[in-house]
Amino acid sequence: MCPWVCLHAPLFWRCAAPTADSVFVVIYLCKFNNGDGAVSSSVLFVHGRRCFQSWGFGRRGVRFLLIGNDFLLFPNPILLRLFALKPRHIFNFKFVMLPAMFKPRAFAASFSLVPTEGFFPRSGKGRLAVMNSTSGASTLVEPGTGQTNGIQRLTIIQPDDWHLHLRDGDGLNAVAPLSAGIFRRAIIMPNLKPPVTDLAAALAYRDRIMKALPSNAEFEPLMTLYLTDVTTRKDVKDASESGLVKAVKLYPAGATTNSQAGVTDLFGKCLPVLEEMVEQGLPLLVHGEVADQMVDIFDREKVFIETVLTPLRQKLPDLKIVLEHITTEDAVKYVESNSDGKVAATVTPQHLLMNRNALFQGGLQPHNYCLPVLKRETHRRALVAAVTSGSSRFFLGTDSAPHERHTKEAPCGCAGIFSAPIALPLYAEVFDQADALDKLEGFTSLNGPDFYGLPRNSNTTTLVKKRWNVPTEYGFGPGTVVPMWAGHALNWNIE
């Protein structure tokens, strides 16, 4: 029997090619930890793609869905409303999956599911054995994948983070050593208050970063400029010639944290600056969302690609562009459609591991709120397919963006997810689930420096498959910051 798990999200399993003759039997217990310890049970019979729920209090408590090979169980929101569950309630399920106790002739070649240990955090993903009901043979299946490749230890070239927020002051002193302990280099975002708009500001910020690092750190901050309507060609030329500034960041005004000074006239006031960037070979890093409040927040990336990025590429085809923290299938297709090597994209761990349901499961989840906002499951899957494909156009960019806990857990909470110290294990989870660990090094360590024209790192990093729990918080200035998947288990860690 599986351990109790809090059903924050749908439970996903992938089974071996379910057919119209497949039979699953699910026996589950439903417990409300609301003071009375009420427990009830129910049974589901699943034949092919139909689900028959039988007896018990929980007969309408769970819904079933089968998409491709993905077997989903998820809580019925009507039930949650019916019992007026509040945040203090814990809605738990315990599952047993057994072979059917009856086998009509049509079921002779069926498959059944039996549990083994382990559940993935928040997503609720479980690890199951697929057992042939005739032979009894079973093999371990990783959630969301086909057969596991069995890798328990993996050594890769030390990765870089191509999109990182280090903040400033006490916050910088707290988080810079965490990134420096994992990544060799990082592209540092310039959206401070005031923003980093010229070489002098970039060099001063770089000095503060270096002072925040341990004396033995081998970490190189790659600086960027914040593009504004008043940025000049000279600003870009000076920055490029310094050798320390590697890119210019485009924030549409009002699109994200500290973007008030962002661009309002890209094709007018900023055009000479963009032309200078082409001459200098300096990439433009793009927060790819329109800031128009009349555009649905879930559509802003798609609209940006259509109305800004496509015309920009037509006007300046030689400008190197990184579409940062992409979130949609539209962005994946756009990057893949530009085959001239001038367009690439960073992808975050949160957009690979969570969809927009994670914002609302069990109440509003402020620590899952970021910009661009999490999207539909179809988009998440497209991102996973892109990064695990081996394409050189996608690379690691955590967009790790720490905020003090009280500023996230607030009536008007800040956007940003802090992932830096656990990002590499998170990415390993994604590639492991996709049976693509052989593609991890390209995404984390090769594609980024190749696009930027920088040498690959010479050091290595080793990951081991060993279960551990993410810390619930880290120190951050006078307060704390809550990391992604705080307090939950991961299967991979850095040796």
In whole angstroms, give the CA distance from residue 491 to residue 483.
Answer: 16
Residues 6+ apart with CB under 8 A from 16: 69, 111, 130, 141
Task: State the Cα angle at 196 between 190 and 197, rounded to 5°.
Answer: 120
Using an 8 Å Cβ cutoff, are 93 and 7 in contact? yes
287 is catalytic: yes
- Which of 47, 163, 367, 408 is labelled catalytic? 163
- Which of 47, 399, 403, 432 is labelled catalytic? 399
Helix (H, G, I), strand (E, B) or coil at 405: helix
HSE of 253, CA atoms in CB hemisphere, 13 A: 9
225, two tokens = 């400029």
460, two tokens = 């290595």
Count other C-beta atoms under 10 Å from residue 341's C-beta: 11
CA distances from 5 to 25, 107, 125, 286, 340 (A): 19, 31, 10, 40, 48
- Which of 8, 165, 246, 465 is labelled catalytic? 165
- Which of 47, 320, 325, 351 is labelled catalytic? 325
CA atoms 228, 229, 234, 237: torsion sign: positive
The one-letter code for the residue type at 96 is V
406 is catalytic: no
432, two tokens = 């492991």
- Which of 8, 246, 287, 367 is labelled catalytic? 287
Q: Specify the length of the chain in residues.
A: 495
8 is catalytic: no
Using an 8 Å Cβ cutoff, are 141 and 148 in contact? yes
265, two tokens = 């006239």
Helix 377-387 × helix 423-433 angle, to 10°: 90
Helix (H, G, I), strand (E, B) or coil at 288: coil
- Which of 246, 249, 367, 375 is labelled catalytic? 249
Which residues are marked as active site? Answer: 163, 165, 249, 287, 325, 399
